[in-house]
Chain A
Amino acid sequence: MTIHKILKKTLELKDLCFRFAKDKPFFFKDLSIVFDSKTINFVRGKNGAGKSTLFRLLQGNITQQEQVAGSIQISDTSYQLETHDHIDGVRLVHQKFDSMLADQFSFDDNMRFAGIARYPKLASLPDCAPLPDFLQRFGIDHTKPVKLLSGGQRQILAILMVLQKPTKVLLLDEPTAALDEQNTNMVMEFLAELVRTTDVIIIMICHDKELVLRYARDGYCELRVDQDTGLRSIEKIN
């Protein structure tokens, strides 16, 4: 008899210290936080609170003049930020998701394009990974050009395209900011299903407090700026 044990995957950010240059004040200092799979991890914060910088650091995207210390542990693998380690499997879906799509081509074409090699070969296009069963419920036409799909459907496509490559952590930068209520609900329903059926850790920046409260099962994270020191801190709000 096989015992299936569902383990939560985690991303643990430990003692993150960051400043943009040696002579600049600290932006983050001793910042630690844990993000889980099996829930949507919301990050809120005002403009300039450091949400985008946090996402950039989570991808290991650090420039030469920036000063950084701390570590990121994704499940069993640990990455030291000061050594500028490449962090595997962290993927970002941008706020302007339309720029991630070839909108004159169909849904299926786009899915296959996402798997093209870094240096495209003289070989046929790669097959796309099997699509999740629950996708049917969103009524996406797989044959017509993507530009004719709704905003929510295009956002779902952008997420699925990013997931074509092995993904441990999915970063979503305000995925519902440009969407109306109906499309927002569609995307959130899709993300909820994704959380339920995969072990990808989903971290999502969102300004809509009502939406956060509706979908954040175990609370959300709030980035704050200390007005005196300019230091950013993160707080888990349940």
Chain B
Amino acid sequence: MFAACLIILEQIFLYVPLMLGAYLSFSLMKVPNLSIEVSFVSGAIMASKVLALTQNMGIVVSLLCACIASLIGGAFVGIVMGLLVTHAKLPHLLASILTIGLFYGVNLFMLGGANISLTPFENPLSVFALPAHPELITLGLISLVIFILCFLLCKTQLGVSFAIYGNNPSFFDFYNISRTYIMSLGLLITSMLSGLSGYLVAQSSSFVDINAGTGISLFCLTALILGKSLIPTKKNIAIFVPIGGLVIYCVIQQVLLKVGFNLKYFTMLQSIIVLVLLMIKYRRRTVQELTSDHLGV
């Protein structure tokens, strides 16, 4: 039981940055930013390159550089996605699909193969010389820092602008506020957070895989919908909803594993969970609400 709790905690800490990024993009901005699937891998690849370069610089420097590199790796994807939406004027979904295609090739080239191992490098997550669970403590601290930063961001003009974008994107045009700036930064932050999660997951499993990001959009949507459906929302603390959803998701996954469910069918189960929750929710919705909220989160 204790071991299962530790696994759940680790899962939560690994995916907190990704969930917050997805919350910003999917829930606040209502943008179907599927490019998180490639920024997840880009962040991991960039961090793995930096890990190789910082092996002799000490574990703290190595950890900091790897985290920053993963943010930058994700940012590249966010910038390209942002340019496609704001300058090439492509719809969000099409821009996402093109970005995925583009960066699949870039990632493959950067990685030099389908996957690479991180075991030759010292594990920066064990930066704290603790007798038990040093990695978990580091992951927890990283997640906490990211959560606090996102919580503070949501209180600022920029954070609120993301929510206004999701409510009415044309709002900004009437008050001389740059919609392009808000859109670009939103996508950038989402991709950076996804990149960081990509690195944490890769470091935790000790290898970077080109297909590591496949299916994380559905994972994010499932967790967000679970959070929105099962956790009472108050406007001031809405940022706890994606975290709550993530906790529920990880608990469900572990419970299913304990009862002998084969996790290779879990993607199917995710879709069923999303479907059931949305069907219950949409029964009470008006046509207007349906058209304004494409993702149900």
Measured CB to CB, the residues of A under 8 A from B are 94, 99-105, 113-114, 116-126, 161-162, 165
Which 3 A-B pairs have CB atoms at the shortest separation, nearest pair first? A120-B157, A120-B158, A120-B161
Interface membership of chain B positions 157-186, coded 1 if the CB is closer than 8 angstroms to chain A and 0 otherwise: 110110010011011001111100110000
**In this assembly, does B49 line the interface, its C-beta being within 8 Å of a C-beta of chain A?**
no
Which one of B157, B170, B175 contacts A125 once the chains associate, using CB atoms below 8 Å?
Answer: B157
Q: Which residues of A contact B182 (CB under 8 A)?
A: 120
- 26 A-B pairs with CB atoms under 8 Å apart are A100-B174, A101-B168, A101-B171, A102-B164, A102-B168, A102-B171, A104-B167, A105-B164, A113-B160, A116-B157, A116-B160, A116-B161, A116-B177, A118-B177, A118-B178, A119-B178, A120-B156, A120-B161, A122-B156, A122-B157, A123-B156, A123-B157, A125-B156, A125-B157, A126-B157, A161-B175
**In this assembly, does B155 line the interface, its C-beta being within 8 Å of a C-beta of chain A?**
yes
Interface residues of B: mostly helix, strand, loop or mixed? helix
**In this assembly, does B153 line the interface, its C-beta being within 8 Å of a C-beta of chain A?**
yes
Q: How far is the CA of A121 from the CA of B185 in the complex (A)?
A: 11
Q: How far is the CA of A104 from the CA of B171 in the complex (A)?
A: 12
Q: How far is the CA of A69 from the CA of B175 in the complex (A)?
A: 28
Which one of B155, B167, B175 contacts A105 once the chains associate, using CB atoms below 8 Å?
Answer: B167
Q: How far is the CA of A125 from the CA of B175 in the complex (A)?
A: 14
* Given A113-B164, A114-B175, A124-B155, 6 more pairs with CB closer than 8 A: A102-B171, A116-B177, A119-B178, A121-B157, A126-B157, A165-B175
B residues 218-264 in Cβ contact with A at 8 Å: none
Measured CB to CB, the residues of B under 8 A from A are 153, 155-158, 160-161, 164, 167-168, 170-171, 174-178, 181-182
Q: Is the CB of B160 within 8 A of A125?
A: yes
Q: Which residues of A contact B155 (CB under 8 A)?
A: 124
**Smallest CB-CB separation from B182: which chain A residue?**
A120
Q: Which residues of A contact B156 (CB under 8 A)?
A: 120-125
Q: How far is the CA of A101 from the CA of B169 in the complex (A)?
A: 10
Q: Which residues of B contact A123 (CB under 8 A)?
A: 156-157
- Known A123-B156, A124-B155, A124-B156: A118·B176 in contact at CB below 8 Å: yes
Q: Which residues of A contact B168 (CB under 8 A)?
A: 99, 101-103
Q: Which residues of A contact B161 (CB under 8 A)?
A: 116, 120
Which one of A100, A121, A165 contacts B171 once the chains associate, using CB atoms below 8 Å?
Answer: A100
Q: Which residues of B contact A161 (CB under 8 A)?
A: 175
- Known A120-B182, A121-B157, A124-B157: A102·B167 in contact at CB below 8 Å: yes
- Known A103-B168, A124-B156: A119·B181 in contact at CB below 8 Å: yes
Query: Which residue among B157, B158, B171 has the maximum number of chain A CB atoms within 10 Å of its CB?
Result: B157
- Known A94-B174, A100-B171, A102-B171: A121·B158 in contact at CB below 8 Å: yes
Q: How far is the CA of A99 from the CA of B171 in the complex (A)?
A: 6
Q: Which residues of A contact B171 (CB under 8 A)?
A: 99-102, 113
Q: How far is the CA of A96 from the CA of B174 in the complex (A)?
A: 11
Q: How far is the CA of A161 from the CA of B182 in the complex (A)?
A: 20
Q: How far is the CA of A125 from the CA of B167 in the complex (A)?
A: 17
Q: How far is the CA of A124 from the CA of B167 in the complex (A)?
A: 20
Q: Which residues of B contact A114 (CB under 8 A)?
A: 175
**Smallest CB-CB separation from A106: which chain B residue?**
B235
Q: Which residues of A contact B157 (CB under 8 A)?
A: 116-117, 120-126
Q: How far is the CA of A122 from the CA of B168 in the complex (A)?
A: 21
Q: Which residues of B contact A126 (CB under 8 A)?
A: 157
Query: Which residue among B155, B164, B175, B176 has the maximum number of chain A CB atoms within 10 Å of its CB?
Result: B175
**Smallest CB-CB separation from B158: which chain A residue?**
A120
